[in-house]
Chains A and B, each alone.
Chain A
Amino acid sequence: MAVNKWVERFFGTPMPDSVVITSFLFPLLYLIGFLVIPVLVMLLTAFVYNGHISIYWFKSIFGAPYYFNPLHPSGSLVQLIPWGNQQVYYFSGWDFGVVINSIVVSISVMILATILGVAFAFVMARYDFPGKNIVRILLFVPLLVTPFVNVVVVKKMFLPNGLINWIFYQHLHLFPHPIWIDGLVGVVIAQSMTYYPIVYLNAYASFINIDPSLEEQAENLGSRGFHLFRTVTFPLALPGIAAGAALVGIFSLEDLAAPIVFQGSAIAKKLMSFQIYSSFVSGFAVGNPQMAALALVMLTIALIIFLAIRWYVGMKQYAMLSKGGRWKPRVAKPRLWQAAVIYLIVIPALLITIFPQIGVVLLAFSKRWYGTWPEGFTLSHMEALLTQPDILRVIENSLLYSTVAIFIIILLSLTASYAAGRFKKAKLAPILDSLATIPIAVPGIVIAMSYFFFFSTVPPFKGTALDPTNLLAFFPGAALILAYSIRRLPFAARSIAAGIQQVHVSLEEAAINLGAGRWKALTSILIPMILLNLLGGAMLSFVYCMSETSVGITLGSINSTWYPITAKMKELITGSVGSANLAAALGVFLMLVQILAIVLANVITKQRYSFIGLT
């Protein structure tokens, strides 16, 4: 017997045992089977016209002003229109065609979210001011995900009689006329308020991680104030901030909640995500290849953002360059004008951005909400959570799908992270690593679309319970579990990979060397040591499964018996008057699940092991 170089090249070890082989092949085959191939099937559909390979469908998109009209936009950003007996500034936005609109919205959201996120992060990372602990808690609020209903509240806030005008027009008299934000501008505002916490978290971590000596050195050389921020602090934090901003861009691109809530204004429908979605719900049995092509355009843009940011962050690793060692972060008392900015601008802005979540709670406990504030306290919606059969049903469904998905996600994350983290020299390792993180850049609606084409055309799935065109037998739960397990994999995978990285490989080697097989070494050494990362990642993935939207309201809304929570919420908010309150109650339920998960995660991760000895 001799060492097989071919095996070593692929598995990173010349004699992989069954545990190693499984760790590589299970996640690899799963991700190829339920992510890569479905997308390829959709790709094929988009490139076939009349039985031939053709770019017809792409031409039909980029040749039609409806989809692509970069030079002669219609509509206007803002106009003065009559509203009742007064005039209001009506914001709706220009229409550049579906594709460009999506890009413009995405970029606008990136910019707005970055401004908000960086400002809050900088204040929290660098200033010590009375009330900081309260602000810290408040900053936790916008992290809570409440599909659809938070956008419903945003929409109400920016109506002529909404909260924003109540403050700035009625009380502060800052506007000559009330404003009304609708259409694409509404989408931008809603998405910015929903997604800025992602930038905040990344920026905060970046600011905290800057070696203070770098800034002190700059100060020592005479740099101060904004100059210091512009020349040292911001550039050092930029990779982290950019990564957050890129994620926000991708999330904006794929978001369906805001366009659906704002669809009363026709221009809000002219976004790629909405177009694909509406083709889905309007004609089920027929897959429209033009929409497959549009989905590919969307996927391409998302992947470009994703790959660009990976490349950029990889290149700018210097942020981590400074020597290790513990340091005291630079936290200062604000000077007078800084305190004024914090109390008069930053904190009020924060209060406005957390209002959607507060509004969801108000909505859930009120009878109606026409004006600035909701009216008529009631518990009936919250009671419905526990009593109304169709509501109970969707909660049960979601819990079931998410629980099953989370088991798959843990298996996938453990195997993929173990293989890619422990056998780095394997040719398969970087592939596995990319496949486990890339779902974050694949829009949910693209997965839904891919699954539609894949399961309805490719044997052995065609005609089974996974085939959505097989209306009698189709079981949406199965498709949803698959979609959840792919879409929410990166959260757990990243957490577990970070855990594995912290456990020095010699700890497992010592066990194996003392006589443990690899499986025993995994279960007795590695897994106990990364248990906290595992639980943390699993909980994060779980709450995001519960609030998954794109696939839930497409493949998941074919049969109301099998609705997940989000499908029900979408049905409620687009349905009759008053049911938005019930949707808000479901939103409150989701918030409670998330708070519970986060509190649990904090309690159990308080105490951590660390690797002892030297490396």
Chain B
Amino acid sequence: MVEVKLQNIVKRFGDTVALKGISLDIKHGELFTLLGPSGCGKSTTLRIIAGLEYPDEGKLYFGDQDVTYLPSHQKGAVLVFQNYALWPHMTVFDNVAYGLKLRKVPKEEIKKKVEWALELIKLKGFEDRYPTQLSGGQQQRVAIARALVVEPKVLLLDEPLSNLDAKLRLEMRSEIRRIQRELGITVIYVTHDQEEAMAISDRIAVMNVGTVEQVGTPREIYEHPRTEFVASFMGKTNVIPAKVVERNGDRVTVEFEGFRLDGLHYTGKSDNVVIVIRPERIRLKPAENAVSLTGTVDLIEYYGFFIEVIGLFGDVRMIARTISDREVGNLKPTQPVTFYINRDDIIVLPKQQL
């Protein structure tokens, strides 16, 4: 169990720059998630930490030790592969015991430890099965046991839930969280699913084409996205291009489609901005410190436990989400509607070249 520190890691594959200078500080015993769309460099980062790739530039530290060029088999950062990579010619027992045998652990102790690991992942009694005789979820557990049993300095999980069906995904998610808490180990977790990341992580690093855009707790990232990309990646959100038309200290007035919103917090330099509004922060009834926007109803979508009202404001569509049918009343498409948004819930960010 160590701190993992990445300093300006750059990795190129031929002409593509997969990582453009990544710096991260991962603390003892935390579950740290790399979140980002496919191809943004999450797996590459993980493979560098595991020692399966070497960076072209930058440094990697475990604690105070520079381990940038330490070969994988000496690194102690154990990766659970996205495809599990179980060895089909070995039983569950032999798969899990593999790392222990390499470490010359006495036979009796190997037996105990494998038993402990299988118990931890609730697969006791499956020792003599071959991986092909297991379901996807069970294979996943064996892969985790195989990694945990060697007591890794840090456990690396590459999209561990992506090959499981929806129900198993939820189950394994809490299982991984439970194990991590129980053992208190450092886990670096990779996913492209923001909901999964929010649910499981202590902290999240949001990545975008080879860079880290923001690091923070799930709540920080959700409520205070620092870039347009982070804002738009964290769930369904209204992201509206706008212009700053008036500045007054750290308060500004912005305009889009002829609508003016005043008294918003913004300190950025650029006048080309986006305003970010979470759908669930939009009310359909007047509220305190709120700006109001009147447009027409475009669509109303019923999701069961919540309802979305999609309003048209000039050419801009905005989604409001509510759990109260009373708030919606009997609004119909093409009818006029007014959205009320607390000024503190409107985030103004510089427009990003995406």
CA distance A512 to B74 in the complex (A): 9
CA distance A559 to B171 in the complex (A): 75
- For A134, list chain B residues within 8 Å (CB): none
Give the contact stretch, choosing among B97-105, B279-287, B292-300, B346-354. B97-105
Inter-subunit contact B73/A509 (CB<8 Å): no
Q: Determine if A22 is an interface residue (Cβ-Cβ < 8 Å).
A: no
CA distance A506 to B47 in the complex (A): 11
CA distance A510 to B136 in the complex (A): 18
When A and B form their complex, which 3 residue pairs have the shortest distance between CB atoms, in order from nearest? Answer: A514-B99, A510-B85, A506-B85
Inter-subunit contact B99/A515 (CB<8 Å): yes
Q: Determine if A283 is an interface residue (Cβ-Cβ < 8 Å).
A: no
Q: Determine if B132 is an interface residue (Cβ-Cβ < 8 Å).
A: yes
Give the contact stretch, choosing among A135-143, A226-234, A607-615. A607-615
- Given A506-B81, A515-B73, A516-B102, does the pair A612, B86 have CB atoms closer than 8 Å? yes
Number of interface residues of A (CB under 8 A): 30
Q: Determine if B150 is an interface residue (Cβ-Cβ < 8 Å).
A: yes
**Can you show 20 pairs from A to B with CB atoms below 8 A apart?**
A3-B56, A17-B71, A506-B81, A506-B83, A509-B85, A512-B52, A513-B72, A513-B78, A514-B98, A515-B74, A515-B150, A516-B73, A517-B73, A609-B88, A609-B89, A611-B88, A613-B83, A613-B85, A613-B139, A614-B83
Q: A510-B85, A613-B84 are in contact. List 16 more A-B contacts (CB 8 A).
A: A1-B69, A3-B69, A506-B85, A509-B72, A509-B85, A510-B87, A510-B146, A512-B71, A513-B50, A514-B146, A516-B73, A528-B89, A612-B88, A612-B132, A614-B82, A615-B83
Q: Which residues of A contact B (CB under 8 A)?
A: 1, 3, 14-15, 17, 425, 504, 506-507, 509-517, 520, 524-525, 528-529, 609-615
Specify which of A15, A510, A516 is in contact with B81 (CB 8 Å cutoff).
A510
- For A504, list chain B residues within 8 Å (CB): 83, 85
Closest to B95 in A: A510
- For A3, list chain B residues within 8 Å (CB): 54-56, 69
- For B147, list chain A residues within 8 Å (CB): 514
Inter-subunit contact B56/A509 (CB<8 Å): no
Q: Determine if B79 is an interface residue (Cβ-Cβ < 8 Å).
A: yes
CA distance A614 to B140 in the complex (A): 12
Closest to A5 in B: B56
CB distance from B124 to the nearest CB of A (A): 21
Q: Determine if B267 is an interface residue (Cβ-Cβ < 8 Å).
A: no
Encode contact with A along B201-236: 1 for CB under 8 Å, 0 otherwise: 000000000000000000000000000000000000
Inter-subunit contact B85/A507 (CB<8 Å): yes
- For B89, list chain A residues within 8 Å (CB): 528-529, 609
Q: Which residues of B contact A (CB under 8 A)?
A: 14, 50-52, 54-56, 69, 71-75, 77-79, 81-89, 98-99, 102-103, 131-132, 136, 139, 146-147, 150, 163
- For B81, list chain A residues within 8 Å (CB): 506, 509-510
CA distance A611 to B147 in the complex (A): 20
Inter-subunit contact B146/A612 (CB<8 Å): no
CA distance A409 to B75 in the complex (A): 35
- For B102, list chain A residues within 8 Å (CB): 514-516, 520
Closest to B156 in A: A513
CA distance A3 to B10 in the complex (A): 12
- Given A15-B71, A506-B83, does the pair A511, B98 have CB atoms closer than 8 Å? yes
CB distance from A535 to the nearest CB of B (A): 15
CA distance A15 to B52 in the complex (A): 11
- Given A14-B54, A507-B87, A609-B88, does the pair A512, B72 have CB atoms closer than 8 Å? yes
CA distance A615 to B162 in the complex (A): 12
CA distance A417 to B286 in the complex (A): 72
In this complex, which of A504, A513, A529 has the most chain B Cβ atoms within 10 angstroms of its Cβ? A513
- For A529, list chain B residues within 8 Å (CB): 87-89
CA distance A504 to B81 in the complex (A): 11
CB distance from B73 to the nearest CB of A (A): 5
CB distance from B55 to the nearest CB of A (A): 8
CB distance from A5 to the nearest CB of B (A): 8
CA distance A189 to B85 in the complex (A): 53
CA distance A613 to B159 in the complex (A): 14
CA distance A615 to B84 in the complex (A): 10
Specify which of B54, B75, B146 is in contact with A15 (CB 8 Å cutoff).
B54
- For B85, list chain A residues within 8 Å (CB): 504, 506-507, 509-510, 613
- For B103, list chain A residues within 8 Å (CB): 515
In this complex, which of A15, A510, A609, A615 has the most chain B Cβ atoms within 10 angstroms of its Cβ? A510
Specify which of B54, B77, B86, B150 is in contact with A613 (CB 8 Å cutoff).
B86
- For A507, list chain B residues within 8 Å (CB): 85, 87
- Given A514-B98, A520-B102, does the pair A525, B84 have CB atoms closer than 8 Å? no
CA distance A513 to B150 in the complex (A): 11
- For A14, list chain B residues within 8 Å (CB): 54
Closest to A610 in B: B88
CA distance A17 to B54 in the complex (A): 14
